[in-house]
C-alpha cells in the first residue's frame, strides 16, 4: 500500500505572472518509525536543490519546495512495503527537455533534509537545476547522480557512517564536483560524461581502495588523491591525453604512480575518453 504523508504543509499561491506561472510552496515531513534501508529518489528540474542531513533525530525527512504548479507537480510519496521514498517534482526530466519545459522556473528551489540514522540508496536526478549535496555523517549505501543542463557539487564533510559500495555519475552539460570523497568510504565509481567535466577530490585521507570506471566525452576527468595513495591509469584516449601532475611510470598499456607498490590505498582508473583529458594530482588538503 502506498502511503503519502504530509506532517506540515503550507501552500502559498503567488499571483499569476505574465507568462502564466503560478508559484506554490509546500513543506512536507515524516516521522521516523523504525525504518530499515530505504530507497530515496529525488527529482528536480530548474532552480536550486539543496540536500543535507537532518538535525532533527525524530524525522525521516523534511522537504520545502517552491515550484510553478502550472508545469510541474510536487512529489512526496512513501511506500512502506517497498521501502521507497520519492520526493521532488514530477516531469523533472533531465537535459534539454527540462530546460524547454521550465524556462521561467529559475526562481524555484528545493531543500531536503534526510535522516542520518537510516541506510540510504540515494538517487538524485536534476535537469537545469544547480544541486548542492552535503552527505557527510549519513548512512549512504549507494549513490546515483544524474545531471542535465546544470551541474552538481557533492561533499562528504564528515565520514559516511557505512561503506558506500557504488557511486554512479551520469553527467550532462554541467560539471560535477565531489570533495572530501575519502570520507565517503566508496569502493566503486562509474562515470558517464558528456560535455560536463567531473572532479573527484578524495581530500586528505582514504580508508579503502577505489576503482573508477569512466566513459568520457569533452568534459574531462580530474582526480586528486592524498600523498600516500597510489594511482593506476589504463585507458583508450581518442584526441585526448593522460595528464599526470605527479610522478608516473609506464608499464605496458598502463601508467603507475611511483608509490604504487607501497601505497596504503590505491585508486585504479580505467576509462575511455574522447576529447576529454584525464588529470591526476595530489589533494591540496
Residue (of 210, 248, 257, 205) closest to 230 by Cα position: 257
Q: Is 137 left (phi over 0), alpha (psi -120 to 50) or beta?
A: left
Q: Residue 80: count other Cβ atoms within 10 Å of its Cβ.
A: 13
Looking at every residue in the chain, the average pLDDT score rounds to 87
In whole angstroms, what is the distance from residue 173 CA to residue 68 CA? 24
In whole angstroms, what is the distance from residue 208 CA to residue 266 CA? 8
Segment 200-228 shows an average pLDDT of 94
Segment 118-128 shows an average pLDDT of 94
State residue 194's pLDDT score.
Answer: 75
State residue 77's pLDDT score.
Answer: 94
State residue 9's pLDDT score.
Answer: 34
Q: Would you place residue 10 in the very low, low, confident or very high pLDDT band (cuts 50, 70, 90)?
A: very low
Q: Is the pLDDT of residue 70 over 90?
A: no
In the chain, the percentage of residues whose pLDDT exceeds 70 is 87
Segment 135-158 shows an average pLDDT of 95
Q: Is the pLDDT of residue 15 over 90?
A: no
pLDDT single digits (tens) 152-170: 999 999 999 999 999 999 9
Q: Would you place residue 72 in the very low, low, confident or very high pLDDT band (cuts 50, 70, 90)?
A: confident
Which residues fall within 8 angstroms of residue 178, CB to CB, at 6 or more apart?
153, 154, 155, 156, 198, 199, 200, 201
Beta bridge pairs of residue 151: none
State residue 106's pLDDT score.
Answer: 57
State residue 284's pLDDT score.
Answer: 82
Domains, the chain: 2-282 (2.160.20)
Amino acid at each position: 500500500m502506498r502511503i503519502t504523508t504530509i506532517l506540515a504543509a503550507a501552500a502559498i499561491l503567488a499571483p499569476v505572472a505574465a507568462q502564466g506561472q503560478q508559484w506554490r510552496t509546500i513543506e512536507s515531513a515524516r516521522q521516523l518509525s523504525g525504518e530499515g534501508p530505504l530507497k530515496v529518489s529525488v527529482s528536480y528540474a530548474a532552480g536550486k536543490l539543496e540536500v543535507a542531513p537532518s538535525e532533527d533525530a525524530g524525522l525521516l525527512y523534511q522537504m520545502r519546495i517552491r515550484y510553478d504548479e502550472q508545469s510541474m507537480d510536487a512529489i512526496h510519496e512513501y511506500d512502506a512495503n517497498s521501502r521507497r521514498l520519492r520526493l521532488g517534482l514530477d516531469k523533472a526530466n533531465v537535459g534539454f527537455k527540462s530546460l524547454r519545459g521550465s524556462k521561467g522556473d529559475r526562481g524555484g528551489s528545493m531543500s531536503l533534509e534526510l535522516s542520518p540514522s537510516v541506510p540510504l540508496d540515494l538517487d538524485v536526478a536534476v535537469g537545469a537545476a544547480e544541486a548542492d549535496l552535503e552527505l557527510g555523517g549519513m548512512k549512504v549505501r549507494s549513490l546515483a547522480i544524474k545531471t542535465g543542463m546544470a551541474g552538481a557539487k557533492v561533499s562528504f564533510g564528515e565520514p559516511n557512517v557505512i561503506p558506500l559500495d557504488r557511486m554512479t555519475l551520469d553527467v550532462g552539460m554541467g560539471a560535477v564536483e565531489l570533495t572530501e570523497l575519502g570520507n565517503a568510504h566508496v569502493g566503486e565509481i562509474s562515470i558517464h560524461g558528456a560535455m560536463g567535466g567531473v572532479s573527484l577530490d578524495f581530500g586528505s585521507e582514504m580508508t579503502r581502495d577505489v576503482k573508477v570506471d569512466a566513459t568520457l566525452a569533452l568534459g574531462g576527468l580530474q582526480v586528486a588523491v592524498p600523498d600516500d595513495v597510489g594511482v593506476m591509469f589504463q585507458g583508450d584516449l581518442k584526441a585526448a591525453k593522460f595528464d599526470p601532475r605527479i610522478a608516473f611510470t609506464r608499464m605496458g598499456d598502463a601508467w603507475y604512480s611511483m608509490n604504487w607498490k607501497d601505497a596504503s590505498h590505491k585508486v585504479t582508473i580505467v576509462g575511455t575518453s574522447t576529447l576529454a583529458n584525464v588529470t591526476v594530482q595530489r589533494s591540496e588538503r
